Amino acid sequence: MTELWDLLVGPFVEFGFMRRALAGCLALSLGAAPVGVFLLLRRMSLTGDAMAHAILPGAAISYMIAGLSLPAMTAGGIISGLLVAMASTLVARSGRQSEDSSLAAFYLMSLSLGVVIVSTYGNQVDLLHVLFGSVLALDDDTLLLIGVISSITLLGLAVLYRPLVLECVDANLLPRRRAWGSVAHFGFMGLLVINLVAGFHALGTLMSIGLMVLPAAAARFWARTVNAMLVLSALLALVAGVAGLLLSYYFEWPTGPTIVLTLGLLYCVSLLLAPAGLLRRKNRPRRHYET
């Protein structure tokens, strides 16, 4: 029992960088995973993936100007993400093109521009840092930023909870109240962008969306209500974060991809074994509608 305890807890007790990484995973789980639930219920998972790449040029331009500066890269990523979100929304509302098509166009341009800038003005190490993050190198300032973003996210979701749920149930309910419909949409997109920026500092632009989509998708197989999905997705994200950190520590695997891969494993287990999964769903009696 002592050996198991040392195996699971020892790295976090012994090393400060492991404790900071654990704190970062906890904060990201509380903020990003609940956003992922609404992302999933609104059928915007691929939109989230596109937005994760849309923050890259802003962060890259900030890197070109100020180097690996936390405030500069945070501000650049948020501005870039919001600009792409607003541009794609305006194009979609003009009726010229669907939102997914316009978003795909803008995010592809953003991703290409960001990679060109980092590759031209940086080096291979900097490019890997931007794309895959460095969760084991989180400092106190980055942890504070992630904690503040998670707190803002929880407060924002509490304010927007009702309109977001209504829109998940039926997208035609909110347009009757146009003010709330616009507030809910742009408010949610803002929460999405700032959480992607928070995840960018820990997991990089390529991996940050995984901490949103995968725990929400796994929780969907176990939970039947939105509240249960919100809580369970955060718990799954935290469990995968701890497991990913330990696997990365003992096997010297890249930490961000290991955490996302652990989330993918939890998703596959849920897909097979959850009450709504592939294996158990066949054996469950089907419900019949009653009048």
31/70: higher pLDDT: 31
Identify whether 288 is part of a domain: no
Give the torsion sign (CA, 248, 132, 234, 230).
negative
- Report the mean per-residue pLDDT for the chain: 84
Per-residue burial over 103-125, b = 16 or more CB atoms within 10 Å of its CB, e = otherwise: bbbbbeebbebbbebbeeebeee
Provide the pLDDT for residue 247. 95
pTM of the model: 0.86
- Going by pLDDT thresholds of 50, 70 and 90, the confidence category of residue 214 is very high
Identify whether 148 is part of a domain: yes
Residue among 195, 186, 190 at smallest CA distance from 149: 195
The proportion of the chain whose per-residue pLDDT surpasses 70, expressed as a percent, equals 86
Identify whether 153 is part of a domain: yes
200/120: higher pLDDT: 200
Provide the domain limits for residue 20: 2-273
Q: Among 169-178, 213-222, 234-243, where is mean pLDDT lowest?
A: 169-178
**Number of residues assigned to the chain:** 291
Q: Mean pLDDT, to the nearest integer, of 259-286?
A: 84
* CATH code of residue 55: 1.10.3470.10
Q: Mean pLDDT, to the nearest integer, of 114-135?
A: 72
- pLDDT tens digits for 246-260? 999 999 998 888 999
CB atoms closer than 10 angstroms to residue 143: 18
Q: Among 28-32, 180-184, 216-220, where is mean pLDDT lowest?
A: 180-184
Identify whether 137 is part of a domain: yes
Identify whether 280 is part of a domain: no
Identify whether 88 is part of a domain: yes
183/172: higher pLDDT: 183
- pLDDT tens digits for 178-190? 566 678 888 998 9
Provide the pLDDT for residue 290. 41
- Going by pLDDT thresholds of 50, 70 and 90, the confidence category of residue 104 is confident
291 pLDDT more than 50 = no
Identify whether 91 is part of a domain: yes
The proportion of the chain whose per-residue pLDDT surpasses 90, expressed as a percent, equals 42
Q: Mean pLDDT, to the nearest integer, of 44-53?
A: 79
Identify whether 284 is part of a domain: no
- Going by pLDDT thresholds of 50, 70 and 90, the confidence category of residue 152 is very high
49/236: higher pLDDT: 236
- The domain tally of the chain equals 1
Provide the pLDDT for residue 249. 93
SS3 readout for the chain:
CHHHHHHHHHHHHHCHHHHHHHHHHHHHHHHHHHHHHHHHHCCCHHHHHHHHHHCHHHHHHHHHHHCCCHHHHHHHHHHHHHHHHHHHHHHHHCCCCCHHHHHHHHHHHHHHHHHHHHHHHCCHHHHHHHHHCCHHHCCHHHHHHHHHHHHHHHHHHHHHHHHHHHHHHCCCCHHHCHHHHHHHHHHHHHHHHHHHHHHHHHHHHHHCCHHHHHHHHHHHHHCCCHHHHHHHHHHHHHHHHHHHHHHHHHHCCCHHHHHHHHHHHHHHHHHHHCCCCHHHHCCCCCCCCCC
268 pLDDT more than 90 = yes
60 pLDDT more than 70 = yes
- Going by pLDDT thresholds of 50, 70 and 90, the confidence category of residue 192 is very high
How distant, in Å, are the alpha carbons of 2, 176, 235 from that of 26? 25, 38, 9
26 pLDDT more than 80 = yes
100 pLDDT more than 90 = no
